[in-house]
């Protein structure tokens, strides 16, 4: 989430990566009888979850998953982590407070951190055109993948919601005016995105303002 503070947009993370080697996640997995291998240093592979000490199956690169029955009994759960953020509808959000909500797949976060994403959106005037700004974010992520990995890349998808306009639209609707929300979604389909079989290394949502 992007939050306006002292005239600048600051990134405020609303989620954390649920990696197998995150201490709390690893503890739960090992307590349930699963095994966790550390990240592969030589080629940069992620930590993984295994059914056995010989690490034969399945090598899942995440600690939480929906419908993964193979490791469901080994501590891999589908329960989400939920964080609530209160937004004062009476506040002047255009001056201070939450401005943008950004949700993106791991292909975006692989080489771009939350503040960098906010800076890209701000530089491309996301509060005036979320569509153009989030497209630039996706193009930047694709460029970084090309630079680091050549023709290979993970899924690159992002959503940017203008919270200020959403609140203003709500106020107008209450006055009977009605309005469209400036929320846009764009994906890197033109960049021939590729889903990584292991689920990727960095899937998270970030809020920036």
Q: Stretch 12-26: mean pLDDT, rounded?
A: 93
Quote the mean pLDDT of the chain. Answer: 82
Do 191 and 137 touch, CB atoms closer than 8 A? no
The residue that leads in pLDDT, 167 or 12, is 12
Q: What is the pLDDT of residues 108-159, one digit of tens each?
A: 999 999 999 999 999 998 878 888 999 999 999 999 999 998 998 889 999 9
* Least confident piece of the model among 23-27, 99-103, 128-132: 128-132
Do 111 and 148 touch, CB atoms closer than 8 A? yes
d(CA 107, CA 196): 9
Q: Stretch 31-50: mean pLDDT, rounded?
A: 92
**Residue 152's pLDDT is what?**
87
Q: What is the pLDDT of residues 161-200, one digit of tens each?
A: 998 888 888 778 878 754 444 444 443 332 333 344 344 4
Q: How confident is the model at residue 203 (pLDDT cuts 50, 70, 90)?
A: very low
Distance linking the first and last C-alpha atoms of the chain: 6
Do 22 and 201 touch, CB atoms closer than 8 A? no
**Residue 180's pLDDT is what?**
46
DSSP state of 209: -
Q: What is the pLDDT of residues 44-61, one digit of tens each?
A: 789 999 999 999 999 999
Cα–Cα nearest to 170, from 88, 97, 102, 95:
88
Tell me if residue 67 falls in helix, strand or coil.
Answer: coil
**Residue 182's pLDDT is what?**
45
pLDDT at 84 over 70: yes
**Residue 53's pLDDT is what?**
94
**Residue 177's pLDDT is what?**
53
- Greatest alpha-carbon pair distance for the chain in Å reads 65
Predicted model pTM: 0.74
* Least confident piece of the model among 79-83, 87-91, 164-168, 174-178: 174-178
137 in the Ramachandran plot: left (φ > 0), alpha (ψ -120 to 50) or beta?
A: alpha
């Amino acid at each position: 989430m992007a939050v306006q503070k002292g005239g600048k947009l600051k990134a405020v993370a609303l989620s954390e990566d649920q990696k197998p080697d995150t201490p709390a996640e690893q503890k739960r997995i090992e307590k349930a009888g699963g095994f966790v291998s550390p990240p592969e240093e030589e080629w940069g592979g992620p930590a993984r979850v295994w059914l056995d000490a010989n690490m034969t199956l399945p090598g899942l690169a995440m600690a939480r998953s929906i419908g993964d029955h193979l490791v469901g009994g080994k501590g891999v759960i589908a329960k989400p982590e939920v964080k609530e953020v209160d937004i004062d509808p009476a506040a002047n959000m255009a001056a201070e407070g939450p401005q943008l909500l950004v949700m993106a797949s791991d292909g975006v976060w692989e080489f771009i951190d939350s503040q960098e994403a906010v800076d890209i959106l701000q530089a491309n005037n996301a509060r005036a055109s979320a569509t153009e700004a989030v497209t630039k974010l996706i193009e930047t992520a694709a460029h970084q993948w090309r630079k680091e990995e050549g023709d290979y890349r993970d899924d690159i998808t992002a959503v940017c919601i203008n919270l200020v306009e959403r609140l203003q639209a709500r106020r107008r609707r209450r006055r009977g005016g009605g309005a469209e929300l400036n929320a846009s979604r764009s994906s890197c389909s033109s960049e021939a995105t590729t889903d990584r079989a292991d689920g990727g290394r960095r899937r998270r949502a970030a809020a920036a303002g």
